[in-house]
Amino acid sequence: EAQVTQNPRYLITVTGKKLTVTCSQNMNHEYMSWYRQDPGLGLRQIYYSMNVEVTDKGDVPEGYKVSRKEKRNFPLILESPSPNQTSLYFCASGGGIAHGYEQYFGPGTRLTVT
């Protein structure tokens, strides 16, 4: 089954404790992206990657890091989480210009930073 998976689905952590949210897709997509969703602000892009070893900032990259060492994986790293990073996070993947523009979203990770 074609899908995007994220782990963990729920996470409660404390300020300053480094964490990683994993994202994996099995559709051989070049493009992957992270979004955060906040009440009243909608979905905003954090980082995206057009291919392996290629990453770029989205609208709200501050406080986040990403890496794309393999095509299927695109982890989101919070080096020193703060309460304003409490949010619902979505990973997405898409085929891009070569394989069609439709994007698929993971189930979401609900993060609370206390």
3-class secondary structure, 15: coil
CB-CB contact of 4 with 104 (8 Å): yes
d(CA 68, CA 102): 20
Token pair 């990259």 in the structure block, residue:
61
The one among 13, 58, 77, 86 contacting another protein by CB under 8 A: 58
Closest approach of Cβ 107 to another protein, in Å? Answer: 5
Closest approach of Cβ 111 to another protein, in Å? Answer: 12
96 binds another protein (CB under 8 A): yes
Sequence-distant (6+) residues with CB within 8 A of 83 are 15, 113, 114
CB-CB contact of 61 with 82 (8 Å): no
DSSP label of 84: G
Q: Which C-beta is closer to another protein: that of 69 or that of 101?
A: 101
The one among 33, 55, 85, 87 contacting another protein by CB under 8 A: 33
Closest approach of Cβ 13 to another protein, in Å? Answer: 19
Instruction: Tell me which residues touch another protein (CB under 8 A).
Output: 31, 33, 42-43, 45, 48, 50, 56, 58, 88, 90, 92, 94, 96-97, 100-105, 107-108, 110
